[in-house]
């Protein structure tokens, strides 16, 4: 049987990313981008759908009666209605662990950029402030060292563990947070509220679920140290973005490094747009995962998933 494969958002892979073809007989169709109202028509005859960020729900699944597999070309599967997929007997798989080096390195790019005030001092030099001061050293922004500070990690999968390894190399005290609302987590975890209140930097590496949505909002920002940072390279919905914007403007926290937004790309009226240009805020366009080695590992794993499924040995199943 020839499998009909439809990739809904091929352009979500960085330019130059080579995607090998599966070993089985297939007819492959690439769409560079797909709008929500185009999904049903484009997958109508598909047996396998590949999506990175394009949502697929029950109505779209019903438009594809031959659909057997939705292969998510990412780790997070919140774009797929998993309940509807299970009810229709459609398998869902994802790719895992491919960015175990790329994401942690990006996290520390954000942390170092904020702690060493890279953006602020660059702006000062560009604006002529250093030159006008006439001194060999020039201090307009507070610098803080990582050594001896506490890093709170939410999520202890491969990405959280990768961040922890780098942090320990900097001499940081690393703690992994327990679940929010659990006052007595396992001994190797710190209660969530304690982590929020004691960490000098917090980094998020957990999936977006109904339980984790908006896990950081106004109450958490008020309890964080005023000198603390928050970094999010996981999912935009983990942070209440209006509350984060207000926390930065009001000085409740010292900085935020963000690689993911609840709506990507963010619209012109998104609250983060009011923060651009501030030295305490860095926004990157969902590129933490996208190192060259990580991209190759991701697409290779994607095709391995397809080959395994068609061969009757499905792997990385979520449903």
Q: 């398998």: which residue's tokens?
A: 91
Distance CA 122, CA 65 (A): 56
Angle between helices 102-115 and 292-310 (to 10 degrees): 150
Distance CA 254, CA 225 (A): 8
Angle between helices 158-169 and 102-115 (to 10 degrees): 50
| Inter-CA distances, 310 with 19, 45, 307, 316, Å | 18, 17, 5, 13
Distance CA 77, CA 315 (A): 15
Residue 10 gets which letter from DSSP?
G
Phi-psi region of 196 (alpha: psi -120 to 50; beta: other; left: phi over 0): alpha
Catalytic residues, which ones? Answer: 235, 264, 286
């Amino acid at each position: 049987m020839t499998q009909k494969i439809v990739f809904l958002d091929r352009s979500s892979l960085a330019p130059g990313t080579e995607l090998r073809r599966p070993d089985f007989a297939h007819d492959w169709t690439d769409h560079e981008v797909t709008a929500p109202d185009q999904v049903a028509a484009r997958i109508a005859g598909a047996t396998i759908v590949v999506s990175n960020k394009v949502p697929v729900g029950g109505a779209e699944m019903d438009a594809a009666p031959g659909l057997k597999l939705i292969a998510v070309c990412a780790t997070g599967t919140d774009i797929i209605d998993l309940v509807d997929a299970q009810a229709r007997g459609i398998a869902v798989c994802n790719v895992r662990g491919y960015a175990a080096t790329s994401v942690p390195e990006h996290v520390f790019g954000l942390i170092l950029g904020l702690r060493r005030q890279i953006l602020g001092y660059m702006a000062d030099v560009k604006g002529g402030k250093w030159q006008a001061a006439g001194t060999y050293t020039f201090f307009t922004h507070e610098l803080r060292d990582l050594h001896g500070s506490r890093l709170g990690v939410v999520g202890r999968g491969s990405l959280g563990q990768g961040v922890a390894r780098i942090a320990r190399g900097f001499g940081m005290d690393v703690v992994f947070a327990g679940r929010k609302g659990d006052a007595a987590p396992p001994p190797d975890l710190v209660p969530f509220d304690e982590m929020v209140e004691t960490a000098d930097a917090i980094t998020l590496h957990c999936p977006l679920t109904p339980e984790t949505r908006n896990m950081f909002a106004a109450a958490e920002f008020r309890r964080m140290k005023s000198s603390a940072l928050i970094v999010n390279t996981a999912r935009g919905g983990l942070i209440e973005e209006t509350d984060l914007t207000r926390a930065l403007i009001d000085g409740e926290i010292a900085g935020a490094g963000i690689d993911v937004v609840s709506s990507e790309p963010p619209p012109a009226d998104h609250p983060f747009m009011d923060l651009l240009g501030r030295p305490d805020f860095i926004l990157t366009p969902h590129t933490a995962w996208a190192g060259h080695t990580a991209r190759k590992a991701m697409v290779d794993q994607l095709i391995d998933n397809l080959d395994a499924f068609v061969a009757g040995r499905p792997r990385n199943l979520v449903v």
